[in-house]
Structure 1
């Protein structure tokens, strides 16, 4: 017996589970449909294929970053920068931590990787977009006077998201518990990044908490 969820939701749940346990390459549409208690034909009613389903899993089942960045960009100058960047780093770290085991198998099959990239381009998405979104938010804060006028926002966005992705990759083979706790990691990353971004008056106005305070 399956839950009372609509078929599309069951398919996303099943895909998320299988892609996380056996990998994207081995999770066939037939197995996903069976786990969701649907026919394979029903799967293709909602999704163009496995690649499309994978993109939807990333967008709908993993921690979301885009809505947060969109909201922050619309209203720069609000909450403290350290608080904003900490939350951005926390969500990004969780996203990469959950998506890395799913996506890793892409690189074992060049044809699957190519089809996946084609699916992302057709849907107007891709792993580069969070960097562009974060860069856009930081530029808005720079325009609002909360960052140094010469702050390199693209480099800062790349560093923050790159560190979050590296946290997922570097500790994937480590012993359980070795990966830095996400909340502490996000807080330290945001604080360190801000030391190079803040306007001269930022430290004086309490934008960054100094160590020991």
Structure 2
């Protein structure tokens, strides 16, 4: 969409959904409230999206920071020419993604029945939180195929370590808030790489 083009109804609803879900959490953000924030009737949401889960997944795809390894088939997240540079870009992107989405999904865990319904609906859409660590593993496997990562390297363990560290970082940022700053991002990224890289490149 050109920069000077007026936002479409879909754009306005996605913007409203993203802000409302971040402020109130997914469980408390109703389609009626989202529609009101966007300036449309609730029926408009269901004209453009299959259901609330489809709206939620569209927010994840279109209104949160991009993670290259989820959308690109090549091996150049961040367009770096080195494995370490690509790992830096990947860690930064995943942390930014979790930072934006943690508040949206956390409220689901306060209601077991709601969580079960959401889990079933998300899986029916072929989505879910396991997609991101799986994408990290695919990225590392692609690197292995080109020789930048040695054969026999612990791909799944490294992928879990990377995704898990990024998630923990985002959780701590959300829990403590901006008045309790975390380790600088560059130092965090360097620490994660120092942990996983030796196992990926060791002979």
Shorter-chain TM-score: which interval? Answer: 0.7 to 0.9
- For 1:196 and 1:116, the matched residues in 2 are separated by 37
Superposition map of 1:98-177 within 5 A: 98-176=100-178, 177=180
User: What secondary structure, in the 3-state scheme, does the structure 2 residue paired with 1:170 have?
Assistant: helix
- For 1:168 and 1:180, the matched residues in 2 are separated by 12
TM-score w.r.t. the length of structure 2 is 0.87
The alignment's C-alpha RMSD in Å is: 2.2
Number of the residue aligned with 2:35: 33
Number of the residue aligned with 2:7: 5
Segments of 4+ moved more than 4 angstroms: 66-69
Number of the residue aligned with 1:88: 90
Match of 1:182 among 182, 185, 188: 185
Gaps of 5+ in 1: 201-213
Greater shift, 148-157 or 57-66, is seen at: 57-66
Greater shift, 131-140 or 87-96, is seen at: 131-140
Change (3 A) 1:102 1:124: same
User: What secondary structure, in the 3-state scheme, does the structure 2 residue paired with 1:197 have?
Assistant: helix
Count how many residue pairs are aligned between Structure 1 and Structure 2: 196
Number of the residue aligned with 1:193: 196
Change (3 A) 1:162 1:151: same
- For 1:67 and 1:103, the matched residues in 2 are separated by 21
User: What secondary structure, in the 3-state scheme, does the structure 1 residue paired with 2:174 have?
Assistant: coil
TM-score w.r.t. the length of structure 1 is 0.83
User: What secondary structure, in the 3-state scheme, does the structure 2 residue paired with 1:171 have?
Assistant: helix
Gaps of 5+ in 2: none
Q: Which structure: larger Rg? A: 1
